[in-house]
Amino acid sequence: MPSTIEKNSRVSVEERLFSLVLALIATEVGLTKADILSTVQGYRQRYLPGGDNASLERQFERDKDDIRELGIPLEVVEPPDDPGSNHHLRYRIPKGLYELPVDVTFSPDELMLLKLAATVWREGSLSAESRRAMTKLHALGIDSSDPVLGYSPSLRVREASFEPLSKAMDRGQVVAFLYLKPGEAAARRRQVEPRAMVLHDGRWHLFGTDQDAAATRTYLLSRIVGPVVTVPGASFVAHGDGQGQEALRELEALWTANIAVIAARPGSDAAVRLSKRVAPGEIRTNADASALHLNFTDLNVFADELAGYGPEVLVHSPAALRTAVRSRLITVRDAHTDFDLNAHPDTTTAADE
Amino acid sequence: MNGGPALGASDKLTFLLALVPFLMDHDRISVTDVAAHFGVSPDRVRDAVNLIAVSGIPGETRQYLHGDLFDIHWDEFETNDLIVLTHLVAIDDSPRFSAREAAALIAGLQYLSSLPENADVDAIASLMAKLTRSASAAPSQVAVSGTDARSSIAVVQAAVRGGVQIEFDYLNARGENELRRVDPWRIQSVDRDWYLRGWCHLREAARTFRLDRMSDLHVTDVPTNPRSADAVPTETLFEGSASDQDVTVELPTSAVPLLADYAPYGAPGAHGDRVRRTLKVAHYHGLKRLVTGLAGVVEVVDPAEARAVVREWAAAGVARYDESEPTDAGE
């Protein structure tokens, strides 16, 4: 092969992907799969003319997905003279859709703000996405000072379900997972059209359409207790922009509407920590935390939290929350009671040190 | 690689695609300047340049002939560590953001806009619109609501800036309350919780404090000790404890992920769809709260002492309701 660069067949993944992107941008009419496999760096070395190239074809399918994941618009063009033909499909990357729009510019101050926004994500997929976005921004060559902030804000996505859920959401795929609803003892399978991922009140939520209930539901990611799988062949049409904001508005509305009145034992963990959460603007008539007004989003989640405080908290209202907390405490007490009456109440004090 | 997360092929490809237009705009630039601009190691820049310089398109002949490849001024590169692109192929502008990349930055901005220092809502809104227009598809629906910026954050922040000590009552995770005097170094939020890292004069050691466990916070006029500022640790916010105890709990198999923070490991003895797990806990003060907060899901089975602590805790809670509502005798 009389090529100017003769390399051994070990071409790195990034070299193959880079070569593929360059080749698909450079072509106006598009390249067929056979063109790509036989000529593009990284494929051509493994291409068998007239032979079985099945594994190379699968490689190309994966590479296409990886490239699209990066926001690169890899198009498939049907030949006008032979529509529907799989054989003559052509692939290309239209330059106009690949490049950042020319009229979009960022000032040094904006770049600084974006750097800061990127650092908000501490770990996990959103931090990787932010990092790649910043790499693309750096290509513009804008110099910015380093962000100055008296503190470092950070958000995490610790739930393993975030990644598969957001991928399925972007691709319009229906998902299924086991969900342990707060307040229930056993997990149940849910089949959902994912519409938005929302962080509200420190918790990640999935906002979506439950296909069994045929209704909108919000799920806590921390309560998804099994793997998230896509339902084969089940897809849905995207619900459009603003799903995330709609979900947030619903959660905010719930949070605002739900107000609990609780008493916290002075000096206790509950008093110290819950009193910090009193709604801004709330007039605290009782500095001794005997009647704290607290907003909450979900009754069962809040009841779990309040039950954890044991005797440090007494719920006055609403009645449903009071009942929920009390019944949780009874459940825990009874589950830990040995009915052969071998309890040693005096061990409590010793262990509590 | 000097620290940092492991880089996959996606990161490397993104870097290559971003580096080309940057180099086009800079006729001759040193490897170290490029590395500083992108925040990467000089070696990573050299690797990328070496790859770009031999890459290109198949071209008319489909043979990757010389004119179909990028080229650089090799002498400048090898002798002076300078990058001079001499031939360009196919691309000349930075790629758009993916739907998820734009979403990550937009959600980060949403969070920032709720912080006290970033009240410039208009600037943030216009920036979000730009990101949306710069993405190749509608940004993924990821939304983040604000944190409630409490006054204690502003107080601590002012003390960090002013370099003065602060004083507060601190109720620690074991339930002990003590007056602390602290050189505040750094204030940090993790999800909805805020933490202060600083030098504790009571313990004479670096400590992390939760802001929601502080009471009677006030700023003193005593300057922080400049010596202690050297002791700022890199990233660690929390330290493990050597005095952790083993506690065995029983729970439904499906609920095990709820305890992931406690690194549970297997323990024998359960039946049906329930399993047993052993957790390391620092103290029962925290354990009883954890278990009572997962009512009906998690049960402590061993040691008996831990069971009793949880039982007494829940029973004391129930008793408060019985006292406060004597007429409501039914369970």
Residue ranges of E strands in B103-232: 142-144, 164-171, 177-190, 193-200, 205-210, 214-223
CB atoms closer than 10 angstroms to residue B294: 21
> Which residues of chain B does A347 touch, with a Cβ-Cβ cutoff of 8 Å?
304-305, 308-309
Q: How far off is chain B from A235, nearest CA to CA, in Å?
A: 17
In a domain, A241, yes or no: yes
Q: In the prediction, which pLDDT does B235 show?
A: 45
A136 within a domain of the structure (yes/no): yes
The residue of chain B with its CA nearest to that of A162 is B142
Its CATH architecture, for the domain B9-87, is: Orthogonal Bundle (1.10)
Contact across the interface for B143 and A248, Cβ inside 8 Å: yes
Q: Is A319 on the interface with B (CB under 8 A)?
A: no
Give the pLDDT confidence of B63-110 residue by residue, as tens digits: 887 788 888 889 889 988 989 888 888 888 889 999 889 999 998 888
Q: Is residue A42's pLDDT more than 50?
A: yes
Cβ-Cβ contacts under 8 Å, B17 against chain A: 18, 21, 136, 139
Q: Do A35 and A92 belong to one domain? A: yes
Q: Which among A101, A304, A352 has CB closest to B285?
A: A352
Please check whether residue A109 touches B, CB under 8 A.
Answer: yes
DSSP run (H or E) holding B86: strand B85-87
A270 touches chain B (CB under 8 A): no
pTM: 0.77
The answer to whether A333 contacts B308, with C-beta atoms less than 8 Å apart, is: no
Asked if residue A145 and residue A171 are part of one domain, the reply reads: no
**CA distance linking residue B196 with residue B175, whole number of Å:** 18
Looking at residue A234, what is its pLDDT?
Answer: 86
Contact A136 B145 (CB under 8 A): no
- The mean pLDDT value for A16-25 works out to 94
- Cα A153 vs. chain centroid, distance in angstroms? 18
Q: What is the pLDDT of residue A16?
A: 93
- The answer, yes or no, to whether residue A191 has pLDDT greater than 80, is yes
Residue A237 pLDDT more than 60?
yes
Residues of chain B positioned with their CB less than 8 A from the CB of A71: 95-99, 101-102, 135-137
A248 and A263 inside one domain: no
In sequence order, what are the beta bridge partners of A193? A209
In Å, what is the CA distance from B11 to each residue of A12, A87, B8, B41, B293?
A: 13, 32, 5, 14, 41
The amino acid sitting at B4 is G
Q: With a cut of 70, which residues of chain B have pLDDT below it?
A: 1-7, 116-119, 146-151, 191, 226-243, 325-331
Total domains present in chain A: 4
Spatial contact of B29 and B47, defined as CB atoms under 8 Å apart: no
Give the gap in angstroms from C-alpha B102 to the nearest C-alpha of chain A: 7
Helices (H), chain A: 13-26, 33-39, 54-69, 95-98, 108-119, 125-138, 162-171, 243-257, 269-274, 299-308, 319-335, 347-352
Q: Which domain holds residue A225?
A: 162-252
Q: Looking at the structure, do residues A136 and A208 belong to the same domain, yes or no?
A: no
- How many CA atoms, within 13 angstroms, populate the side-chain half-sphere of residue A346? 0
Q: Residue A8 falls within a domain, yes or no? A: no
Statement: residue A152 has pLDDT above 70: no
Q: What is the mean pLDDT of chain A?
A: 84
User: Does B123 sit within 8 Å of A141, measured CB to CB?
Assistant: no
Domain with CATH 2.30.30 in chain B: 151-231
Amino acid at B89: V
The answer for residues whose C-beta is within 8 angstroms of residue B322's C-beta and 6 or more apart is none
* CB-based contact A141 B291, cutoff 8 Å: no
**Is residue A174 included in any domain, yes or no?**
yes
Residue A185 lies in a domain: yes
From B134's Cα to the closest Cα of chain A, the distance in A is: 6
Between strands A151-154 and B177-190, the pairing is parallel
Query: Measured in Å, how far apart are chain A's first and last C-alpha atoms?
Result: 79
Please report, rounded to a whole number, the percentage of residues in chain A having pLDDT higher than 90. Answer: 38
Most confident of A38-52, A80-94, B259-273: A38-52
- pLDDT number for residue A64: 92
- Is B144's CB within 8 Å of A307's CB? no
Cα–Cα separations (whole angstroms), residue B178 to A254, A319, B170, B181, B220: 37, 36, 5, 10, 17
Distance CA B299, CA B311 (A): 10
Q: Report helix, strand or coil for A200.
A: strand
pLDDT band for A288, please (50, 70, 90 cuts): low
| Residue A66 Cα, gap to closest chain B Cα (Å) | 7
- pLDDT over threshold 60, residue A352: no
Contact B215 A272 (CB under 8 A): yes
Please indicate, yes or no, whether residues A167 and A152 belong to a single structural domain of this protein: no
Last residue of a domain, one of A220, A252, A284: A252
* Domain(s) of CATH 3.30.70: residues in chain B: 245-324
| Residue A6 belongs to some domain of the structure | no
Query: What would the CATH number be for the domain defined by B245-324?
Result: 3.30.70
Q: What is the pLDDT of residues A160-183, one digit of tens each?
A: 788 899 889 988 899 999 998 888
Tally of residues, chain A: 353
Judge whether A313 is closer than 8 Å to chain B, CB to CB: yes
Does residue A4 sit within a domain? Answer: no
Residue type, A152: S
The pLDDT value given to residue A148: 61
Q: Long-range contact list for A102-107, CB < 8 A, 24+ apart? A: A102/B93, A104/B130, A104/B133, A104/B134, A105/A140, A106/A137, A106/A140, A106/A142, A106/B127, A106/B130, A107/A142
Query: Do B317 and A185 lie within an 8 Å CB cutoff?
Result: no
Provide the shortest C-alpha distance from residue B135 to chain A (in Å): 7
Examine the fold and report which residue of A116, A138, A156 is the final residue of a domain before the chain moves on: A156
Question: CA-CA distances (angstroms) from residue B328 to B322, B323, B325?
Answer: 7, 10, 6
pLDDT range class, residue A346, cuts 50, 70, 90: very low
Provide the CATH number for the domain around residue A206. 2.30.30
User: What CA–CA distances, in Å, run from B97 to A117, A130, A137, B100?
Assistant: 15, 10, 9, 8
Q: CA B30 to CA B238: how far, in whole Å?
A: 40
Question: According to the model, what pLDDT value does residue A4 have?
Answer: 42
Instruction: Determine the 3-state secondary structure of A150 from DSSP.
Output: coil
Q: Identify the residue among A36, A68, A151, A309 best suited for mutation to test binding to B, counting B beta carbons within 10 A and taking the highest.
A: A151
Of residues B89, B93, B111, nearest to A153 (C-beta): B111
Q: What would the pLDDT profile of A96-128 be if each residue is shown by its tens digit?
A: 899 998 888 888 888 888 888 888 887 777 888
**Chain B CB contacts of A152 below 8 Å:** 186-189
A&B contacts, CB < 8 Å: 438
Q: Rounded to a whole number, what is the distance in Å from the CA of B80 to chain A's nearest CA?
A: 22
CATH topology of domain B151-231: SH3 type barrels. (2.30.30)
**Could you tell me if A347 lies within 8 Å of chain B, comparing CB atoms?**
yes
- CATH 1.10.10 positions along chain B are 9-87
Closest to B98 measured CA to CA, from A245, A171, A251: A171
Let me know: does B24 contact B9? Beta carbons within 8 Å. no
Report if residue A64 sits inside a domain. Answer: yes
